[in-house]
Amino acid sequence: MTLALMLEQLLNGVQFGLMLFLMSAGLTLVFGVMGLINLAHGSLYMIGAFLCAAVAGATGNFWLGLMAGIAAAAAAGALIEVVVIRRLYDRDHLDQVLATFALILILSEGVRMVFGPFPLYLNVPDMFRGTVNLGIVDYSLYRLALIGFGLAVAVGLWALIAKTRLGIRIRAGESDREMIAALGVNIRALYTVVFALGAALAGLAGALVGAIQSVQVGMGEPVLILAFVVIVIGGIGSIKGAMVGALLVGVIDTMGRFLLPRLFALFLDTSQAMGVGAALASMLIYLLMALILIFRPKGLFPANG
């Protein structure tokens, strides 16, 4: 096991974590501001990926596709918010879970009706093809670009929330919903904007990841579950928590899958070690989540104190 291999796996973990952050940021914002559990967030990720693949395929331009993916996810988010989600803010979590579970069924089947049952494949944009030399290892330029994208969005999101009027309202909404309504902020519009913003981030993640993997119905759900793990670990409602949680989950998951089988190979035979190692590695982040919830029931960075 060389240093170069460790570094490459670490980068893979960070890249995975940052894509998880894009997913989690929207999820945690929506919960923090509106108190809503949105299981359909993975569907918005899927919509972003499909629209990006379709538009990029038709025009041959990845960036146009990316814009289309983000716009479609944001529009779908706004539409869902106005038609369905708005009615769920006052409901208990059970109703929210179910209604958004229903939305998953509707959106997945809807996308299947429009795009068919086959996966779509997106090409990596030309400027990010190939590899870049990082001293001891060649690393995929596109994956490196994903890390850059993720960090840029994180900074942008921080600036939006810390420095802009919208950000002030979002923060006010997190701490006291009735108060900002009383202060004359159009709370309905604010909610729609926040939801669409979260949806756009999910769509962005879907489109970016779609270019290296495949774009298919159901691609959003595994990521959704991981994003929930992220925000629960980080503390629901906290963007900072989502960032820390996403990096933790991304790196621990990647390194666990890579290192645990090797660890067990020290005292088991190879095939047994592969089996036990893989079994434990795939449970690792859920174990982490359960431990964190047991010892810090509100996550690492609880929002609102």
Partner 1 sequence: MARRASPLMPRLAVSAVAIIVSTPRGGISTKGAGKLYFSPNLAQDCDQRSDNQGDGDKMKSFKHAALAATLAVGTVSMAQADTVSVGMITTLSGGGAGLGVDVRDGFQLALDMAGEHNIRLVVEDDAQRPELAVQIAERMIQSERVDILTGIIWSNLAMAVVPSAVAQDILYLSPNAGPSALAGANCHPNYFNVAWQNDMLHEGAGAYANELGYENTFIMAPNYPAGTDALNGFKRYYEGELAGELFTQVGQTDYAAELAQIRASGADSIFIFLPGGMGISFMRQYEQSGLDLPIVSAAFTFSQDMLPAVGAAALGVFNASQWSPDLDNDANQEFVAAFRAEFGRIPSLYASQGFDTANLILSAAAKADVSDRDAFRQALLEADFASVRGEFAWGPNQHPIQRVYIREVVEVDGEITNRIIGTAFEAHSDVHGENCNM
Partner 2 sequence: MDNARKEWGLNAILALVLFAVPLWAWLANEPFIITLATRVAILAIAAVGLNIALGLGGMVSFGHALYLGLGGYVAGIAAHHAFNGTPVLGLAGTNQMLPIWAIAMLVSGAVAGVVGALSLRTSGIFFIMITLAFAQMGFFFALSWPAYGGEDGLPIFMRNQFPGMNTSRPWDLFVIAYGVLMVALLLFALLRGARFGAALMAIRQNPDRAAAVGISPFGIKLTAFVLSGMLTGLAGAMMADLTRFVSPAMMAWTMSGELIVIIILGGVGRLFGPVAGAAILVGFEVFFGGLTEHWKLWLGLVLLAVVLFARGGLIGLIAGRARHG
Residues lying near partner 2 in the complex (CB under 8 A): 31, 37, 84, 87, 93-95, 97-99, 101-106, 108-110, 112-113, 221, 225, 228-229, 232, 236, 275, 278-279, 281-283, 286-287, 289-290, 293-294, 297-298
- Which one among 64, 75, 141, 300 touches partner 1, defined by CB under 8 A? 141
Question: Between residues 265 and 278, which has the closer beta carbon with respect to partner 2?
Answer: 278
> Cβ of residue 103: shortest distance to partner 2, in angstroms?
7
CA 274 to chain centre: 29
Whether residue 27 contacts residue 198, with contact meaning beta carbons closer than 8 Å, is answered with: yes
For 30, the token pair is 């929506």
- Partners of 223 in the beta sheet? none
216 lies in the site for partner 1, by CB under 8 A: yes
Interface region with partner 1, contact rule CB under 8 A, candidates 52-60, 179-187, 243-251, 252-260 = 252-260
For 162, the token pair is 């810390």
Match 């929506």 to its residue by tokens.
Answer: 30
> In 95-136, which ranges are E strands?
131-133
115 lies in the site for partner 1, by CB under 8 A: no
142 lies in the site for partner 1, by CB under 8 A: yes
Whether residue 132 contacts residue 138, with contact meaning beta carbons closer than 8 Å, is answered with: yes
- For 239, residues 6+ apart whose C-beta sits below 8 A from its C-beta are 25, 28, 29, 157, 158, 161
Sites of contact with partner 1 (CB under 8 A) = 1-2, 4-5, 8-9, 12, 15-16, 112, 117-119, 121, 124, 129-131, 137-138, 140-143, 212-214, 216-219, 254, 257-258, 270, 274, 278
